[in-house]
Amino acid sequence: MAFIEARDISKTYSLGDVEVSALMDVSLTIEKGEFVSIMGPSGSGKSTFMNILGCLDKPTGGKYLLDGTDVSGMDRDRLAEIRNRKIGFVFQGFNLLPRTSALENVELPMFYKGVAANERKERALKALEMVGLAGRQSHFPNQLSGGQQQRVAIARALVNDAPIILADEPTGNLDTRTSQEIMGLFVRLNADSAITIILVTHEPDIAAFSRRWVRFMDGRIIKDEEAAQRHG
């Protein structure tokens, strides 16, 4: 069985009397350790699909199996638990808590998991070291550069040992050089720790770091291609 399996996922929003279909019978399977880019113009349904994959939203039709469990019918709290344990989010706007140190930002997912204080600190420091921010644990987000903030966010996504990282335009707010560095970090995590990475982007040179490209258009997948061998 596939690690991530979306079967005939559809999502309809009702705006008053009008029904708007954001996704129409989308099916996609992703295996453990894949590095997938999801591409497409805005309004193509890629963000809606990402929200469903990230358990932030529920599909109105179809089935979503994550690691063998059907999550499409779960309630808020069960979904929160799945997000906490299985999915690490990396956003375009970093989404760190302001006035909260890098260390505490990274510790946050472990609070909601109920990890003991000393273990929390130890693991958070290790995660910060992994993303190349050793020694910066007491900095606040406004004292860090964009690239460093995104590294803190990646450390936060890693710290609960989530098998999946969902990155929504992670380089959208960064300059080219920093973008390359961040993508390099993703490639390394994917290769070294076999973390499944799903990346939403509309920039081809960012998507080029991944090994599979899924293209959305008008609520459907129109292209799904795999690279034989690229960066490693």
Partner 1 sequence: MVNIPWTARLALRALKVNKMRSALTMLGIIIGVSAVIAMLAVGSGATRRITEQISSMGSNLLIILPGSTTSGGLRMGAGTQPTLTSGDARAIADEAPAVDAVAPVLSGAAQVVNGRQNWSTVVTGTTPAMLYVRGWTLSGGRPFTGADVKNATKVCLLGQTVVDNLFGDEDPVGKIVKIKNLPFTVIGVLGVKGQSVMGQDQDDTIYIPLTTAQRKLFGTAFPGMVRIIMVKGKSTGQLDEAQTQITDILRQRHHIGPRQDDDFTVRNLTQLMQTAEQSTRIMTLLLGAIASVSLLVGGIGIMNIMLVSITERTREIGIRMAIGAKTWDIRVQFLMEAFIMSLIGGGAGIALGIGGSVVLSKIAGWPTSVSSFSILLASCFSGAVGIFFGFYPAYKASLLNPIDALRYE
Nearer to partner 1, 96 or 174 (CB): 96
Nearer to partner 1, 52 or 125 (CB): 52
Q: Which of residues 183-202 bind partner 1 (CB under 8 A)?
A: none
Nearest residue to 155 via CA among 189, 178, 198, 119? 189
DSSP 9-46: EEEEEEETTEEEEEEEEEEEEE-TT-EEEEE--TTSSH
> Please, what is the Cα angle at 195 between 189 and 198, to 5 degrees?
100
Size of the site for partner 1 (CB under 8 A): 26
Q: Which residues is 215 bridged to in the sheet?
A: 39, 223
Minimum distance between the CB of residue 54 and partner 1, rounded to whole angstroms?
8
The site map against partner 1 for 15-54 (x = CB under 8 A) is: ------------------------------------x--x
Q: Which of residues 143-172 bind partner 1 (CB under 8 A)?
A: 156, 160
Residue 112 interacts with partner 1 (CB under 8 A)? Answer: yes
Nearer to partner 1, 98 or 135 (CB): 98
Stretch that binds partner 1, among 2-10, 63-71, 108-116, 127-135 (CB under 8 A): 108-116
Nearer to partner 1, 141 or 147 (CB): 141
Count the neighbouring beta carbons within 10 Å of the beta carbon of residue 197.
25
CB 21 within 8 A of CB 10: yes
**DSSP secondary structure letter of residue 96:** P
Q: 3-class DSSP state for residue 6?
A: strand
Q: CA-CA distance, 142 to 101, in Å (whole number)?
A: 10
Minimum distance between the CB of residue 208 and partner 1, rounded to whole angstroms?
27
Nearer to partner 1, 99 or 177 (CB): 99
Q: Which of 109, 147, 170, 219 binds partner 1 (CB under 8 A)?
A: 109
CA distances, 124 to each of 2, 14, 118 (Å): 30, 42, 10
Cβ neighbourhood burial of 180 (10 Å; 0-12, 13-18, 19+):
middle
The site map against partner 1 for 65-84 (x = CB under 8 A) is: -----------xx--xx-xx
Binding site for partner 1 (CB under 8 A): 51, 54, 56-57, 76-77, 80-81, 83-85, 89, 91, 95-99, 108-109, 111-114, 156, 160
